[in-house]
Amino acid sequence: MLRTSRIWQAARFYSSAAETAAKTATKIKRHEKHTVVDTKEEENLVPRAVAPLDASKIPQGNMLAHILQQYKMDLGEHDVQLSGWKKYVGERLIKTFNLDMDRIRSGPVAAVLYRDQCKMQAYFEKGKPISPLADWYYNRLGMPQTYFQWFQITSLHIWMLYVRMRRMPRKYCREYQTKLVNGIFEDIDYTLREVIRVNSDRTANNHKKQFSEQLRGSVFSYDEAMLGGDTVLAGAIWRNLFEQSDVADPTIIEHIVQYVRAQLYVLDMISDRDFAAGRFQFLDPRYRYEPLSAAQYAALDEMIESARRESKNLAARSQLSREGL
């Protein structure tokens, strides 16, 4: 009876979250019509028909090279390196107070590195050229170039990181998830105030609350879809990224499903220690990827050891598992 009650409560909570997300999406799009995109026509706020995607012409990506590149990433590119004396003082503090470096690293890794990777997938600024990847989302896939759509694409990538973070020990999972979401919403707050010019604290906070509800609904939707197979995942992508539009190309949706599965495959291979250290980057969704062959997988561990940039200082120590690649 208790188990049935919990399942029913979970089902009601999911239904409520999905309903709230749908209402929130409507509010956000209504706001965009009047503030974010200003005088653009209403049809630019919804997915539009594009030329069908020819699956046979999608270029093949190199998953092996991508995984190796992850282990060559240097956190020095993300402004977390210290000068000589600061590094010495920091190492003394770590040794003296036995600081948990895995937890401390969650700030620069989740709140900066992983936040930026999610954010930049479809990022655009009004009046400035967009990146080739953002152009692929908005022009090749027919998604509307709006702040709401950017958040939907960002939410999908947040969810994929969430899936991997759940495999970490509980305290680190919560720490990294919290830092990632806080980093995203700090960026949203900046955009609302400095780019969209929302001057009222109350209005800005209301918009952030709506985005939070939308993220929660998206995460529940993708979680359910991950357990239900590719057909259910395709439905979740169609609802969240294409707003259940009749003009959405099934081949495009199928390609995004394959991209998500390939990305989760890569995330599943990464050890907790390497993931927590920031040795991860998203695959390019414009390519199609095949799983590693048995021979590639067997040889990869040795190749990674030679490519991995392990630091000798105390700040690099970790209690997390190295099980995985």
Closest by CA to 71, choosing from 320, 311, 306, 312, is 306
Percent of the chain with pLDDT over 90: 47
CA distance 176 to 104: 10
Of residues 268 and 88, more confidence is placed in 268
The 10s digit of each residue's pLDDT in 174-229 is 999 999 999 999 999 998 998 888 888 899 999 999 999 999 999 999 999 998 88
**Mean pLDDT over the full length of the chain:** 80
Q: Which residues are within 8 A (CB) of 322 and not within 5 positions of it... i.e. 6 or more apart?
A: 271, 272, 273, 274
The amino acid present at 37, given as its one-letter code, is V
- Contact residues for 188 (Cβ-Cβ < 8 A; gap 6+): 151, 207, 208, 211
Output the pLDDT for position 183: 95
Q: Which whole number is the average pLDDT over 44-65?
A: 86
Sign of CA dihedral 266, 131, 249, 224: positive
pLDDT tens string 238-254: 999 999 888 889 999 99
Amino acid 30: pLDDT: 52
Question: Cβ distance 55 to 255 under 8 Å?
Answer: yes
Residue with tokens 């991950």: 226
Q: What DSSP string runs through 87-152?
A: HHHHHHHHHHHT--HHHHTHIIIIIIIIHHHHHTTS---TTSPPPHHHHIIIIIS----SHHHHHH
256-298 residue pLDDT tens: 999 999 999 999 988 898 899 888 999 999 999 999 988 888 8
**C-alpha–C-alpha distance, residues 147 and 117, integer Å:** 17
CA distance 1 to 13: 18
- Which among 264, 260, 270, 265 has a CA at the least distance from the CA of 240? 260
Dist CA 54 CA 67 (whole Å)? 27
Tell me, rounded to whole angstroms, the distance of Cα 280 from its chain centroid. Answer: 12
Contact criterion met (CB below 8 Å) for 322 and 274: yes
Tokens of 28: 């956000």
pLDDT of residue 198: 85
Confidence (pTM) = 0.80
What is the spatial distance between Cα 115 and Cα 107, in angstroms, rounded to a whole number? 10
Distance between CA atoms of residues 171 and 58, nearest Å: 41
Residue pair 16/217 in contact by the 8 Å Cβ criterion: no
Where would I find the beta strands (DSSP E) of 155-250? Answer: none
Give the whole-angstrom CA distance, residue 229 versus residue 62. 25
Longest dimension (CA), the chain: 62
55 pLDDT exceeds 70?
yes
Contacts of 82 (CB under 8 A, 6+ apart): 90
**pLDDT tens profile 126-175:** 889 999 999 999 999 999 999 999 999 999 999 999 999 999 999 899 99
Would you state the torsion angle of the CA atoms of residues 24, 30, 31, 37, taken in this order, to the nearest 10 degrees?
A: 130
